[in-house]
Structure 1
């Protein structure tokens, strides 16, 4: 499902659809608050870093998880990722094995993340974290789960798309939020806003808790040796905001003959891909998609579609590095 336009329209909460649905949004917010207040917090004995969001849909959690995993590994720690496995059929806990599991079983994001760290899928996040700990993890990076009370979060990182911000400020279904932004931000330890400079400047006007450190970051293409200049492409993407992917390709000088925006996590059928392949062949174009979408490709198309990998680059990572150092520092114990 694509996010409705009125969630981020200029009219904001004054839009008639937002006003009509706002009572349901208030009920949703209260339900989230009750769940967080009542749920037991399981402490598994090793640090848990939650990478979550307040908005529904894609904000950049997956590249943020990758960035955290790489920083932790650079610090000689052993991070494992735990995910609910959205879109997958397995309930877990189960370790994601790229050669054995498919996106239909474990979800596209865990399959992608498993290339960077040992990754576990579990609908019961506490059970998944215990399985990771017992398998040798020294720190858990929780992919999503900011509104889930199952685990104690030793560090909570909230990710937001700087361009859309917190939308119209209303909760589902009246707006894009899982809980009121001011409520969620009070529980966060770090806020990562992702977007280009103009979007970051616009997001500067968003009221934030004064004690909350904010890190500005951008998704930058990974240098793979591919020359995108004037390359004719047929691109498709099923991420939170596919337009960002298409704009990145254009910024690299590629020629987009077709840009197919799909719903987040939309299945990639053989019939759909065959139509795209025929169109690409007719125009002498190359099929291209995101790393996350590539995880859902049928085996017969994996060699026919290239990807544009992106990584998260922080303007100033010092607050994040300081938080990770403090979190992972040996604790003094007394007899």
Structure 2
């Protein structure tokens, strides 16, 4: 399920969610038990996982990029390990953003590779070993929080303040990848991005369990081609509404919206519709960095036209307490070294 249903994010138990509850119970039991399994492998460098409680985007990629920059400033040599969702290569393979396409390694891997050395591997243990061979003294595991295969030394779970954990139910009734109580037990810290009562509720629950809670914000980079413009916004991400809200906060007037499933590859017909509608209505087409990486991988003339016409909004994750975040990471690294 790549397009999250609306009832996932509604407070209260919708009829559709309740109808799926028996399936969710079984799914949750299986996922919860899987998370309790001991790791199957480990490497001789610290492993920090960046994950989320729910299916869909919660800000893992910008968080991983921000952590990589922070650790590089501390003279670490982090290597990012990712599954490469949406790509055809199983790996392990070192991502080259100048030669690899999103169809090969996935859109997120191309963004991550611009921040630090990135390895794509469907097998996390083999991928971690490949990361060590490239000279990593620390591994940032992008996603994989629910996967117990690789031993990790610190698990940072990311959540959106606007939606938290949605209706609090497990897939398919809700967005949770496993029951929340099972996931909180395995987390070492919680990072809430942005504001919202849903995030505050999650914060209170995590705090009652003694889990360190940090806050961060996604800050769009200034873009004069977007601010003050009438735009046609299109996005294939976990929650496109988040992108539209960002555009409006930047001062753009979002006249038309085109939402696609997460990691969706824009077709030639869809590109034609976007370009035609934008031209007829005098709108500026605008998309996300992830979507642009997928568009740029096409050799079709119309896709190249879309890549050249569309404007991109880039967001950066900014920790409100960067020093505290770094202290938590350093403590986990020191504890690993003394074992």
Q: TM-score, normalised by structure 1?
A: 0.92
**Equivalent position SS for 2:256:** strand
**Equivalent position SS for 2:228:** coil
Do the aligned partners of residues 149 and 330 (structure 1) sit closer, same or farther apart at CA in structure 2, a change above 3 Å counting? closer
1:8-27 paired onto structure 2 within 5 Å: 8-12=9-13, 15-27=14-26
Partners of 1:157 and 1:189 within 8 A in 2: yes
The runs of 5 or more residues in structure 1 that have no matched partner are: none
* Counterpart-to-counterpart distance in 2, 1:24 and 1:111: 36
Partners of 2:61 and 2:142 within 8 A in 1: yes
Q: How big is the shift at 1:227?
A: 5.5
Q: Which moved more, 1:37-46 or 1:47-56?
A: 37-46
Q: Deviations over 1:1-32 (max 9, x none)?
A: 321122222323xx322222112112112212
Partner in structure 2 of residue 64 of structure 1: 63
Partner in structure 2 of residue 194 of structure 1: 193
User: Aligned pairs, how many?
Assistant: 331
Partner in structure 1 of residue 252 of structure 2: 254
Partner in structure 1 of residue 229 of structure 2: 231
Q: Give me the CA root mean square deviation.
A: 2.1
Do the aligned partners of residues 32 and 318 (structure 1) sit closer, same or farther apart at CA in structure 2, a change above 3 Å counting? same
1:96-135 paired onto structure 2 within 5 Å: 96-135=95-134
Partner in structure 2 of residue 94 of structure 1: 93
Partner in structure 1 of residue 274 of structure 2: 276
Q: How big is the shift at 1:143?
A: 0.6
Partner in structure 2 of residue 315 of structure 1: 320
Q: How big is the shift at 1:304?
A: 2.1
* Counterpart-to-counterpart distance in 1, 2:169 and 2:336: 41
Greater fraction helix: 2
**Equivalent position SS for 2:214:** strand
Q: Which moved more, 1:274-283 or 1:154-163?
A: 274-283
* Counterpart-to-counterpart distance in 2, 1:229 and 1:194: 23
Partners of 1:182 and 1:208 within 8 A in 2: no
Partners of 2:225 and 2:311 within 8 A in 1: no
Q: How big is the shift at 1:92?
A: 0.6
